[in-house]
Structure 1
Amino acid sequence: MTDTQTARAEANLAYDADVAVVGCGPVGTLLAVLLGQRGHRVTIVDKWPAPYEQPRAVTYDHEIARILAILGIDSDDDPAVEYHDDLYYWRNAEGENLLEVDWKSIAASGWRTRYWFSQPELEKRLRDVAATLPSVTIRRGWLATDLEQNGDGIVLTGQVTGTDGDAAPGVIRAKYVVGADGANSFVRTALGLDFADHGFFFDWLILDMIMPDISGLDLGPTHWQLCDPARPTTIVPGGPGRRRWEYMVLPGENPEELASEQSAWQLLEPWGVTPANAELERAAVYRFQARWAENWRNGRGLLAGDAAHLMPPFAGEGMCAGLRDSVALAWRLDLVLSCKSGDEVLDSYGTERKGHVHHYIDFSMRLGKIICIADADDAVARDRQMIAELAASDGTPVDTDIASLGPGLWTSGTAHAGELSVQGIVEANGRRGRFDDIAGRGWTVIGRGPSAADVLTDEQRRLWEILDGRCVRLGSAVTDCDVIDVDGTYARWLDEIGADFVILRPDFYVAATAPDVATLRASLDTILDGLHLTTTDRAPVAAR
């Protein structure tokens, strides 16, 4: 070991973990897995003694499928995941279409637009992966009660309940803490981070049903919203063998009475759903809200998932946003913990993710305002306007794939920068598949024409190596290239955005696009500066 490595090892003895994660849901567990795969020590604490086995989220999008593929989960070929080749319909009480959302197509990132699953199963998969990583520890029955931090790390204090029910004090010392502990986040409160309310409050009853066979039932489209003011209703899949109904709690109704088993079966009866053909797995009333933290970081404490943002479920993006947080935070923390970047690189995490999640919160609220109408006259006015708008658009489905990052580590003013990258089928060394699987993931410059590796400056190549960056030259089967652009996806994309080079980040987002070598070099300098790379083998700067 070098003197520096020895010093680091000795310094690490003062910490129980590199990162303490509060909350063992999908967001916290994915973050721990991604950091654990890089060899960082992560301790997850959760106040509950056992995993929560009831359904919550039931859908994720193509970007999350791309993320889960990192862990070996193939959403196109997994018995616990299903997809449907159908649009997402919004209909009035008379059955007329008001809106169509494009949940039918293959997305630009190479996966289907929408998948359906059971959250307990996904969480178990994530925990199973975590269990294979020796640097990841999960501690249950661990209630965080106090959080202190300084320039060197954090101290998390809690109350630990054993299997015998007895409680004892617990302490974890870590370099960073991440609050993935839900809407009522302890970490957010302890860090003094405000949680802004954006004025959307509606109570809905959620009914999760186990229904292995629905072939004899007329439930309408695969996924749809019934915008009936007499009872606004959502009907969607809940993963293989499951369906979900959501009913808005009307003014004057008692939520507890509505959530009773008797009430649930009465609501389901018009759909032909009875105890003879279905099992009621869960009935619960949730308040749909729109909230976000104005700041996602205070020193060595950060937020992710519902601790940072809440949105109505109508766009199916709540959990998706949290898993995006995990990926965006993981590669930054990896750079800092690996002593490759200074602590300042964490600042862009919140600005980028907040801007991105604002889009989906706004979109979810717009959808919510369509269906959460219980007044018949207001519904008539809504129907008239939306039917006319749909006709004027020739029935073109709404594209949900338009969000970009907020300000951060990407170059504004270049086409497609700050957006999720395109992914096509490529071939190399006799293997054919999606680009991520064949060419690899991480910092990448893809291009056509001259190889980026040959046109970067010596200093850029040196810094690119610090990032474990790669350069991939795309081409056809008859050209000299690193990977073959099998179906021309990349050629069409580069033509569309007028670029010969694209800089990709570890979270699959585009950092910059460039039409020529000069622009590539200038853009790469901008990105490298924003990463605050350490050019010598030294520890990262202290948190501010």
Structure 2
Amino acid sequence: MSYNKFSENTHAANYQSQVAVVGSGPVGLMMANYLGQMGIDVLLIEKLDTLIDYPRAIGIDDEALRTIQAVGLVNNVLPHTTPWHAMRFLTPKGRCFADIQPMTDEFGWSRRNAFIQPQVDAVLFAGLKRFPNVRSLFSRSLMAFSQDAEGVTLQLEDNEGKRETVQADWLVACDGGSSIIRRTLGISFDGKTAPNQWVVVDIANDPLSTPHIYMCCDPVRPYVSAALPHGVRRFEFMVMPGETESELSKPEKMRQLLAKVLPDPDNVELIRQRVYTHNARLAGQFRSNRVLLAGDSAHIMPVWQGQGYNSGMRDAFNLAWKLAMVVNRQADDALLDTYQQERRDHAKAMIDLSVTAGHVLAPPHRWQGKLRDGLSWLFNYLPPVKRYFLEMRFKPMPQYKTGALVAGNEKNSPVGRMFIQPKVTFSNGTQRLLDDAIGPRFAVIAWGCNPQWGLTDQQIAQWQQAGTQFIQVVPEVQLPAVRQQSTGVVCVGDTTGRLKDWFANQRHSIVVLRPDRFIAGMAIPQTLGKLMDALAVAASLRSHVVTTTIENKVA
């Protein structure tokens, strides 16, 4: 089942698309943007009448910003962020025992940023207007769906009870932690619901206006105080045993909570208040034939490291490029199996980290809190340990060992990790981030040499058909003297010296990047051809790409 256009049959209220995305949260919006820019017909389906307009996630990391950069919207998102957002853990007496303020920008952006999710969601939604091949259906409930070897059929119902049918080649479930798609498929959602709840209070015209986020580890009632963009302040208070949401919503109770953190709890402009239960769950599988789970439908985690949103964006970036290649017949659908291979283990690692951070903030037992406070004094006198927290090294960075990559035998190989993104200089003298020279595609990046030298014409044609950018990097001062490159090779200057330093620490001079900026393999010019053949197998590139290229050259 393959469609190039949406159905124009207005009488039957039927729709056809190559990919149906259910859920217009950030993961669904990112999927639709990436697939849209790759020319794929997308139908975005949402149960609500509009995007959710109340604040939810408040932390966006450098990986998520790089994902948004890949669809050309990062400059629209940045005005709604606060970069270099520190996280400070406080004892009940107000002493800061962990000051987490990582200052690295290895991926091109600040590692920790505050943001207000509805504003960024609105940017992602507006971005869909660029693509005539992307349509949105709001106020549609998914009543049922089925799949076969050819595609997926969805039965929808609008607010007036009108039934509609959608036929798609693929279905991406971005419909949240209570995903009806996951439940219908019978996929397990393993984990547990945290025994505590938290009440979240958002206030306009920040009555404190101090920067950063503070996590007060008070055994009586732990709380969070977070500065957000545009003068918004978020407070989060732990719900104590015996308290109910209705009780906490009473004005006198809200005043009592705010009196803990403000000198005048009556003089505030309340945006909203909600009670959340923190969950930690992971789907048993991320793919069921033509249906794929992403974001909260695949995993949910406590908020303490701000990784729920960011893990969902990692899912979207990992899945979108693979699905685009399959739909565009550049790769076989076996490539989609690598999505779960690569993402599930890291999602679990982020769940574990978030649970641990929650125990630091609110230990299950009073003695654990005293032990934490005592150890924090010791950490201040152990510089390596202090740096471990300051630079956020405890955050498990994704590194894929298997999947759409060719791992080497070297110890500490960077293969499977995200590649750095420094500024580079183009031949016309402009300076931009590295990804702007790549676009939404594979890249072969060579230090100093021609990135096509070690490849045959057939291999070059195969990877160009798969959408590959060949890039030669030289010291910036050498740009004026670089000779005319082969067709399809872009030469850039190493503006900051970071690329030279990176390659100097490796055994190889050529790196192959996937569209999600993860390293798929490394080589030197003499071994590049062998690597690219192995990677073609790992990425399930369709063999007809080579055959067609050869036939065209003969003709």
TM-score (norm 1): 0.90
**Map of 2:550 onto structure 1:** none
SS at match of 2:57: coil
Mapped to 1, the partners of 2:221 and 2:520 lie a distance apart of: 45
Mapped to 1, the partners of 2:522 and 2:251 lie a distance apart of: 56
Q: How far off its partner does 1:474 sit?
A: 0.7
Quick check: 1:355 aligned with 2:350? no
**Map of 1:168 onto structure 2:** 162
Contact kept in structure 1, 2:4 and 2:17, CA below 8 Å: no
Q: How far off its partner does 1:144 sit?
A: 0.5
Give 1:318's match in structure 2, choosing from 297, 308, 326: 308
Contact kept in structure 1, 2:77 and 2:123, CA below 8 Å: no
Quick check: 1:330 aligned with 2:330? no
Contact kept in structure 2, 1:46 and 1:143, CA below 8 Å: yes
**Map of 1:63 onto structure 2:** 63
**Map of 1:474 onto structure 2:** 473
Mapped to 2, the partners of 1:8 and 1:241 lie a distance apart of: 47
- Quick one: which amino acid aligns to residue 298 of structure 2? A
Moved more, 446-455 or 147-156: 446-455
- Quick one: which amino acid aligns to residue 19 of structure 1? V
Quick check: 1:531 aligned with 2:545? no
Quick check: 1:210 aligned with 2:200? no
Mapped to 1, the partners of 2:142 and 2:469 lie a distance apart of: 41
In structure 2, do the counterparts of structure 1 residues 292 and 30 end up closer, same or farther at CA, with 3 Å as the change threshold?
same
Mapped to 2, the partners of 1:318 and 1:11 lie a distance apart of: 33
**Map of 1:279 onto structure 2:** 269
**What does 1:248-327 correspond to in 2, within 5 Å?**
248-272=238-262, 274=264, 277-327=267-317
Contact kept in structure 1, 2:15 and 2:165, CA below 8 Å: no
Mapped to 2, the partners of 1:31 and 1:226 lie a distance apart of: 36
**Map of 1:410 onto structure 2:** 405
Contact kept in structure 2, 1:89 and 1:225, CA below 8 Å: yes
**What does 1:167-246 correspond to in 2, within 5 Å?**
167-198=161-192, 200-212=194-206, 214-215=208-209, 222-246=212-236
Quick check: 1:35 aligned with 2:43? no
In structure 2, do the counterparts of structure 1 residues 274 and 418 end up closer, same or farther at CA, with 3 Å as the change threshold?
farther
In structure 2, do the counterparts of structure 1 residues 200 and 451 end up closer, same or farther at CA, with 3 Å as the change threshold?
farther
Q: How far off its partner does 1:376 sit?
A: 3.1
Deviations 1:331-381 (A, max 9, x none): 111111111111111000111111222222121111111112264333112
Mapped to 2, the partners of 1:451 and 1:502 lie a distance apart of: 12
SS at match of 2:132: coil
Contact kept in structure 2, 1:75 and 1:81, CA below 8 Å: no
* C-alpha RMSD of the superposition: 2.5
Contact kept in structure 2, 1:232 and 1:374, CA below 8 Å: no
**Map of 2:529 onto structure 1:** 521
Q: How far off its partner does 1:293 sit?
A: 0.8
Moved more, 267-276 or 448-457: 267-276
Contact kept in structure 2, 1:202 and 1:289, CA below 8 Å: no
Q: How far off its partner does 1:499 sit?
A: 2.5
In structure 2, do the counterparts of structure 1 residues 269 and 250 end up closer, same or farther at CA, with 3 Å as the change threshold?
same
Q: How far off its partner does 1:173 sit?
A: 0.5
Contact kept in structure 2, 1:427 and 1:438, CA below 8 Å: no
Contact kept in structure 2, 1:20 and 1:45, CA below 8 Å: yes
Q: How far off its partner does 1:209 sit?
A: 1.3
**Map of 2:549 onto structure 1:** none
Mapped to 1, the partners of 2:166 and 2:440 lie a distance apart of: 32
**Map of 1:542 onto structure 2:** none
Mapped to 1, the partners of 2:236 and 2:73 lie a distance apart of: 28
- Quick one: which amino acid aligns to residue 441 of structure 2? G
Contact kept in structure 2, 1:101 and 1:399, CA below 8 Å: no
Mapped to 1, the partners of 2:83 and 2:5 lie a distance apart of: 50
Moved more, 389-398 or 343-352: 389-398
Mapped to 1, the partners of 2:206 and 2:224 lie a distance apart of: 19
Q: Structure 1: which 5+ runs fail to align?
A: 1-6, 539-544
Q: Tell me the percent identity.
A: 28
SS at match of 1:336: helix
**What does 1:453-472 correspond to in 2, within 5 Å?**
453-472=452-471
**Map of 1:507 onto structure 2:** 516
Deviations 1:171-193 (A, max 9, x none): 10000111100000011112221
Mapped to 1, the partners of 2:6 and 2:174 lie a distance apart of: 26
Mapped to 2, the partners of 1:525 and 1:235 lie a distance apart of: 52
SS at match of 1:454: coil
Deviations 1:472-526 (A, max 9, x none): 1111134355100011010011112333111111111111223x23443333222
Mapped to 2, the partners of 1:25 and 1:269 lie a distance apart of: 34
